[in-house]
A and B are shown apart, each in its own frame.
Chain A
Amino acid sequence: MVSLKSFLLASCATALMSSAAWAADPIKIGVIAEAQAVAGSSIAPAAQLAAEEINAKGGIDGRKIEIVVYDNHSSSAESVRAFQRAVSEDKVNAVIASYISEVVLALEPWAGRLKTVMITPGAASDVITQNIAKNYDQLKYTFHGYLTSTSLAGLVCDAAKDLLVEPYKMKTAVIMSEDAAWTTPLDAGYEKCLPEIGLKVVDHIRMSPDTTDFTPIFNKIEGLKPDVMITGISHVGTQPTVQWKSQQVPIPMFGISSQATNSTFWKDTNGAVEGVMYNAVSGPGVAVTPKTLPFVEAYQKKFGNFPSYAGYTSYDDVYMIADAIHRAGGTDPDKMVEAMEATDYVGTIGRIAFKPKGDPNPHALRTGKGYITGLMLQWQSGKQVNVWPKELAAGTATWPSFIKLKAASN
């Protein structure tokens, strides 16, 4: 009894002391994400992890960071309701939102109306930042914390040049992408940059994200005899990958395949993903910056699995928001926007800085040398192996036996 009593007393005392340690109100960051989708499910835990780390070191200017999580069920309408509730009832100071472009586009005007800084850790559509360019004063509260589709297309082309065109003398490509907001600028980017690296685009197939049977699509692509399929898929992933393998489509898959970035994808596809090459900003075991691997380790230790691509960015976003609040001297939204615009932060995916007002894509991430360069990984025997760029590569490209590299055999 005595010991229980003293334990209770002691815990009360600790509770009092710890609440006394946080003198000012907490800084609240709302996280609106897709708890059921693999890409979205890392967003909230990664933000939580960053907040705990910051709090363990005394918070920001004596203020604790508190993460408030909302599950949006992958729906734009639910996201808007969550955003309104986050701002007006839960009084959050900033919002980290979603990996789906349609969701972020729906939230963008609300960030403006409710004057709340919002950053997306995973959406890609260029339209998000194009909107800011058109109506800066109203929409300046939105920041794009992930690469735009056009940047992604450019990075895929850079990698394709080194990995496909030079070693295998590939000449032709078919673009295969899902019909969604993020792929419109992606496809335009592919159409522009693939010919520049010497890959002629022989066809461009946009499929419905509801497609379940990819046989007719692969059949058509095979008939065109391209050297490579350049992909733009995120909402679909498992099914085209598995059917590619089970039908033994002899053409490599290369490009964006968001689901392939997840560590669980091998199991989801029963290993059919072997040989698929995909772009990413991070990968297991790749030390993009000194912060990357410690983050992955801490995440894995705490949650028992690996973060999705949006987990890395969400983790960085909390640090960036905290840093901006510190530099802005508080949570005044306009001052926070100014501070966010001045961000120069080395995160887990590279050096992060935003494009300025006046750029066609204001508040988009800077890419290229010195900033974010991206990676190209390949699934090899159950592991995601980085094969590009050379200085970060952990292995070389290999292909499943059913892939026939026509040009290479010449």
Chain B
Amino acid sequence: MLFWQILIDGFAISALYALGATGFTLIFGVSGVLNLSHGAIMVGAAVAAWAAASEFGVGPYTGALIGVLAGFILAFATYFIAVRPIQRSKVIAESEKEIFILTATLLWGIIIQEAIAYLFTNNAKTVLPIVEGVTTVLGVRTPRNEYFTAVICWVAIGLLWFLVNRTRRGKAVMAASMNPRGVTLLGIELSSIYLTVWAIYGLLAGVAGILLGMFLGVSSYSVGPLTASAFSIVVLGGLGSVSGSLIAAYVVGYLETGTAYLISPAYRTIPALLLLVVVMYLRPQGLFGRR
């Protein structure tokens, strides 16, 4: 019974982690940007979906759509406000750009976080679930929304896979992550690739944020922990490796769920962080990293 409980709960939460981390790792793979405003974008999308449904009375579907749109807009805002000006700057030395972008996205994330706290208070919000009710499978009573979350996550990840491997645009994105200069030599504008990646990222982060808002709820306090968890999953899986991130998401998700059920919910995140430290010692490039 407990085994099935852990299996089912762990699966849903891991799927959510995987979706959240995929966009994060994609951006890094293609443009070398570690986007530390990741958590803020997820929370922004969820809060927009909540506000649309609760404050303006649109239904759960329209609310979720508005949330995805908010994630999309926030991702582009991040790119155009915090990332692109630094990438194109002639004043900042090339070698220092990475750290500048890191700082800029961190501060941008804090700006979004504070804005959310002031406009909507720091109380947690929950997005109106699209599917209600519970189902009992194998003696485990689970909200239907949890299954829904897992399904949507995997559909989104599947679509991403299709996009990257089967479409021309997607292949260009993949190529850019392997060899940016090579892509430019083939006559593809790198800046348009960046736009594509940020668009994909905005959709992924928006969907992940809304699902998290439905499943567990989010508040402006979630911003830091969400960025940190995406970051540690991506580092564990290997920076820039999408499949590595997916596997790492499941490792972290199940470690956390198992700890919460078998030891105590208070120690939930500790084993995963310890694992991260061990991996950093033994295999600094991450489990599936290429560099």
Contact = CB atoms under 8 A, between A and B. Distances in A.
Interface string B49-88: 0000111000000000000000000000000000000000
A242 B125 CA distance: 9
A168 B219 CA distance: 37
A37 B217 contact: no
B117 interface: yes
Contacts of A262: 123
Interface stretch (A50-58, A141-149, A268-276, A390-398): A268-276
A239 interface: yes
Interface string B207-231: 0000000001101101001000000
Chain A to chain B: the 4 pairs with minimum beta-carbon distance, closest first = A238-B124, A36-B117, A216-B260, A267-B54
A215 B124 CA distance: 17
Contacts of B219: 238
A332 B118 CA distance: 37
Contact of A219 (B123, B128, B261): B261
A243 B216 contact: yes
Interface string B1-28: 0000100010001000000000000000
B265 interface: yes
A175 B132 CA distance: 28
B126 A268 contact: yes
Contact of A216 (B55, B128, B142, B261): B261
A246 B118 contact: no
B291 to A, nearest CB: 33
Given A238-B125, A268-B123, A270-B53, A248 B141 contact: yes
B202 interface: no
A38 B265 contact: no
Contact of B121 (A41, A248, A270): A41
B134 A36 contact: no
Interface of A: 35-38, 41, 74, 179, 207-208, 210-217, 219, 236-239, 242-243, 246-248, 259, 262, 264, 267-270, 272
6 contacts: A210-B225, A213-B216, A248-B143, A267-B55, A268-B125, A270-B128
A36 B219 CA distance: 11
B121 to A, nearest CB: 5
A37 B141 contact: no
Most buried by B among A37, A213, A269, A272: A213
A237 B265 CA distance: 17
A36 B216 CA distance: 21
Given A41-B121, A207-B266, A210-B225, A238 B141 contact: no
B126 A238 contact: yes
Nearest to B51: A267
Contacts of B53: 270
B126 A272 contact: yes
Contacts, number: 91
B31 interface: no
B122 A208 contact: no
Interface residues of B, number: 35
A74 B122 contact: yes
A246 B129 contact: yes
A268 B124 contact: yes
Contacts of B266: 179, 207-208, 211
B5 A212 contact: no
B13 A213 contact: yes
Given A35-B118, A212-B216, A268-B126, A219 B5 contact: yes
B177 interface: no
Nearest to B129: A246
A242 B134 CA distance: 13
B265 A216 contact: yes
B122 A270 contact: no
A37 B221 CA distance: 11
B122 A269 contact: no
B124 A248 contact: no
Contacts of B5: 219
A207 B264 CA distance: 9
Contacts of A215: 9, 260
B139 to A, nearest CB: 12
Contacts of B132: 246
Contact of A239 (B141, B145, B216, B260): B216
A239 B222 CA distance: 12
Contacts of B141: 247-248
A237 B125 CA distance: 10
Nearest to B226: A212
